Structure 1
Amino acid sequence: MTVPDLQKNAEATANDKARHVPGLPKLPQPAHVIRDDAEAIQVAHRLAETFNQGAAKRDRERIWPVEELDAFSQSGLWSINVPKAYGGPDLSYVTLNKVIEIISAADPSLGQIPQNHLGVVAAIRTVSDEAQKRLLFAEVLRGTRFGNAFSEFGSKRAADFETKFVDKGDYVIVTGKKFYSTGAVLAHLVPIVALDDEGRAWYAIAKRDDAGLTVIDDWSSFGQRTTLSGTVIVDNVRVPKTHLVPGYKGYDKPTADGAIFQVIQAAVDTGIARAAIEDTIAFVRSSSRPWIDANVEHASQDPYTIQAIGDLSLKLTATQALLEKSGEAIDRAVVDPTEKTVAKAQIAVAAVKVLSTELAVAAGSKLFELAGARSTLAAHGLDRHWRNARVHTLHDPVRWKYAILGNYYLNGVNPPLHAWS
């Protein structure tokens, strides 16, 4: 490397460090622990009422949801899949999916932020030893938030990782660069996907303000604008082996880990679709004008609008039913992870991923067609539904979910075992 190249790299590194966002301290009081499924749903509805009030403004001005996120994680909803043996509620994934849908209907950025946290909790249950489970589940129950530093911007495929770690005995040294790091800005711990010298992927869980960990708030997408994502630079970060989770073990044999990561994405999209449909109905009832040829007094009496709302509502009901079915299938796979139960869970999740993706995008667009030109005014902030749906549903290509479903039913081929299936 030439001297100018070295100088350029040094300047880039200094610039990145200057853009680093310091982490926030944990709240002193421990988080609540949810008692049962009914309480989880009740708490989710209560939080959603609050989150909905400022959602449009947070989206428009890209305001960090600091108070909202603290309320969310302190509510106990971030520990609902911690096993009972370790003091957790161990609630059904039917309930977990519904919680995420409810929160996402109010603010899908807040609904997406715990996705990787909940997925890592599930992975710890699957792959960690007893000592690690006791240590990390205790952190989660206290209210510790996991962010993520999984995906990489420049790799050829989503599953290709250049971030690696070096074994140093009681600890490892991790180096790499991540993007799409949802929740990392306001996390307390950041799980970093890193490869060992055999190419196996681990979660190296670093403290948010560890030396060498630079978190940059540079998420510039037009949707899901306050997911607190962006770039994470990992420069010789030291992680104790107590916090090194063998994530690869969740995919070298049938487990529900991949389906769990995926179904939470579908729950977010279901919430986005529900919010778009509800806002369409409210606007048509209160503000839209009937078309001149309809010969009706109110826009809500337009027969074509009635038909379209019926179609959207029917598809939402179907999507919610599949979301519930997928939660039931995951519950069975968690208790009894066999090739058959895991494949059934993956197939159920693939199905709801298709419907939730297509409905969220369609509902966000149909809103303006049915509500009319005045619904596009910036004051209403209704464009956020389509923007959020369009961005979030790009997490993985739904066209491949059709392929998974077709190959399973036609040829008896089980879905692949990875975090996107």
Structure 2
Amino acid sequence: MTDLLSSPTADDTSTLDPATTAAPARSHWTGVAAEDEIAHWSAVASEVAAVLARDVLERDRRGDDPTTELDPLRSSGLVTLLDPASLGGGGAHWQTAFRVVRILARADGSLAQLLLYHYVNVANIATSAPASERERFYRRTIEGRWLWGDSVNPVDPDLRLTPDDAGGFRLNGLKRFSTGVSSGDRALVNAVVDSGDREGDVIAFVIDAHAPGVAHLGDWDALGQRQSASGSVRFTDVRVEPTDVLGALDGEPFSTLITAAIQLGFGNLYLGLAEGAIAAAREITVARPNAWFLSDAERYAEDPFVRRLYGDLVSRTAAVEALADRVGALFDVETAKGDGVTAESRGALAIEIAKVKVVSSDLATDATSRVFEATGSSSTRSSVGLDLYWRNARTHSLHDPVDYKKLEVGANFLTGVLQPLSLYT
């Protein structure tokens, strides 16, 4: 089992199994991200974040699906960051992708979420598609700079795939929380086959997000993450070609890293929201004149209670950042094993990810609320927009109950038990 208490560097492969890392059978991801790779893509993400920040409040107030604002994600290369370099992709690692999501979330939580889901959705090529088909899927995605949304929400009844005489299927059903489908180019869909030789199989496939029979219902009306394009989608006799199929979902350990990736992505999303709120609040606080009339300080930035508040939030944020970076490197180590991933090593990694989810979720909801204590009542004006961070954090942190992540960590600590595999674990 991988030692999940170690923190490998780009040159440290001592925790990797040479038999699986020298020529991994399952994917193009090898080793862990080097510092220059992380630095390069972090700089790219910072530039894109600066562009998104210019009108993020205006776009949030409109709450419509993003369109042209997705262009910087495409033109910068961020949408193909994790794809094979040999086919024209960025050839980067997951640790780098998580950092990119975090940086974007500091400016725009909605588009950071869309990019995170895209990374996880496209990764299904490596985890579910046969080796002979991966190049075709990757080439089309890279050349088209496609953004993948998804209709895989497991709390809804499964969509139905009905075999047809041409060797494909017809897709029918409704999926809520289909993030990115209405604004993206392709939709990753999971559905159960309702008849024939494959009856009962759950199949992952990719279709045109705007194909005939795909209806975007536009019913996303949440408190936050208002541009995450997370509305419901209804599928009516949508044609699914045999060439659209990635493969069946069978719970094989390497393929289940997909759900681990999105949970760690959530942790980085929440961390980025906290960092963005603290940075925005600092600007407001430093610019505030005078001080509270009972204070001995001349300005709010010199008030000991204000300084204590920031000292607490900044310190906690630094701790969460360190944990997120450590676990990001561990994720690269596990992914690099390819077919060497085991249920035990994958489960141990999931515990580390749960720790990130617990502390980042708590930090985000707390920090994005408490910053108002330092910025004052004037910072609650709609034109200031400081509320955006709290609304985004509060909305997305309800994706799945963080209390169950605390239970996972506690149960493992006390008895060594691992949670049963699910689409939330």
Normalising by structure 1, report the TM-score.
Answer: 0.86
Determine if the alignment matches structure 1 residue 175 to structure 2 residue 172: yes
Normalising by structure 2, report the TM-score.
Answer: 0.85
Determine if the alignment matches structure 1 residue 184 to structure 2 residue 165: no
- 1:357 aligned partner: 361
Bigger mean CA deviation after superposition, 290-299 or 77-86: 77-86
Q: Which whole-Å deviations, capped at 9, do the CAs of 1:303-343 have from their partners, x for residues lacking one?
A: 11111101100111111111111211111111121234312
Shift in Å, 1:289: 4.8
Shift in Å, 1:61: 2.4
Report the secondary structure of 2:320's partner residue: helix
What pairs with 1:295-334 in structure 2 (closer than 5 Å)? 295-334=296-335
Q: Which whole-Å deviations, capped at 9, do the CAs of 1:62-112 have from their partners, x for residues lacking one?
A: 254322202212321122222445543332222111100011111000100
- 1:258 aligned partner: 259
Question: Match of 1:145, as an amino acid?
Answer: L
Mapped contact 2:264–2:357 kept (Cα < 8 A): yes
Q: Distance in 2 between matches of 1:272 and 1:288?
A: 27
Question: Match of 1:378, as an amino acid?
Answer: S
Determine if the alignment matches structure 1 residue 402 to structure 2 residue 406: yes
What pairs with 1:93-242 in structure 2 (closer than 5 Å)? 93-142=94-143, 143-151=145-153, 158-159=154-155, 161-168=157-164, 169-197=166-194, 198-242=199-243
Q: Distance in 1 between matches of 2:398 and 2:181?
A: 20
Q: Which whole-Å deviations, capped at 9, do the CAs of 1:157-187 have from their partners, x for residues lacking one?
A: x445331101225311111101111111111
Q: Which whole-Å deviations, capped at 9, do the CAs of 1:113-158 have from their partners, x for residues lacking one?
A: 122221122222112102321121112212011111122xxxxxx4
Shift in Å, 1:52: 0.8
Q: Distance in 2 between matches of 1:200 and 1:258?
A: 19
Report the secondary structure of 1:300's partner residue: helix
Question: Match of 1:113, as an amino acid?
Answer: L
Higher RCO by CA contacts (8 Å cutoff, separation 6 or greater): 2
- 1:75 aligned partner: 76
- 2:28 aligned partner: none
Question: Match of 1:165, as an amino acid?
Answer: L
In structure 1, the gaps of 5 or more residues are 1-34, 152-157
Cα distance change on mapping 1:321 and 1:165 into 2, 3 Å:
same
Shift in Å, 1:279: 1.3
Question: Match of 2:188, as an amino acid?
Answer: P
- 2:33 aligned partner: none
What pairs with 1:356-375 in structure 2 (closer than 5 Å)? 356-375=360-379
Q: Distance in 2 between matches of 1:286 and 1:412?
A: 51
Shift in Å, 1:270: 1.0
Determine if the alignment matches structure 1 residue 415 to structure 2 residue 419: yes
Q: Distance in 1 between matches of 2:39 and 2:297?
A: 43
Q: Distance in 1 between matches of 2:248 and 2:394?
A: 29
Q: Distance in 2 between matches of 1:109 and 1:350?
A: 22
Cα distance change on mapping 1:289 and 1:395 into 2, 3 Å:
farther
Q: Distance in 1 between matches of 2:200 and 2:421?
A: 17
Equivalent residues, number: 380
Cα distance change on mapping 1:215 and 1:288 into 2, 3 Å:
farther
- 1:11 aligned partner: none
- 2:348 aligned partner: 344
What pairs with 1:20-99 in structure 2 (closer than 5 Å)? 36-84=37-85, 86-99=87-100
Q: Which whole-Å deviations, capped at 9, do the CAs of 1:333-360 have from their partners, x for residues lacking one?
A: 1112123431232122111111111111
Mapped contact 2:368–2:389 kept (Cα < 8 A): yes
Question: Match of 1:401, as an amino acid?
Answer: K
Q: Distance in 1 between matches of 2:213 and 2:410?
A: 46
In structure 2, the gaps of 5 or more residues are 1-35
Mapped contact 1:288–1:371 kept (Cα < 8 A): no
Identical aligned residues as a percent:
29
Question: Match of 2:317, as an amino acid?
Answer: L
Q: Distance in 2 between matches of 1:327 and 1:184?
A: 27
What pairs with 1:267-278 in structure 2 (closer than 5 Å)? 267-278=268-279
Question: Match of 1:97, as an amino acid?
Answer: F
Shift in Å, 1:386: 0.8
Cα distance change on mapping 1:284 and 1:190 into 2, 3 Å:
same
Q: Distance in 1 between matches of 2:152 and 2:167?
A: 23
Mapped contact 1:269–1:360 kept (Cα < 8 A): yes
Question: Match of 1:365, as an amino acid?
Answer: S
Bigger mean CA deviation after superposition, 116-125 or 94-103: 116-125
Q: Distance in 1 between matches of 2:109 and 2:101?
A: 9
Q: Distance in 2 between matches of 1:417 and 1:85?
A: 33
Q: Distance in 2 between matches of 1:121 and 1:162?
A: 21
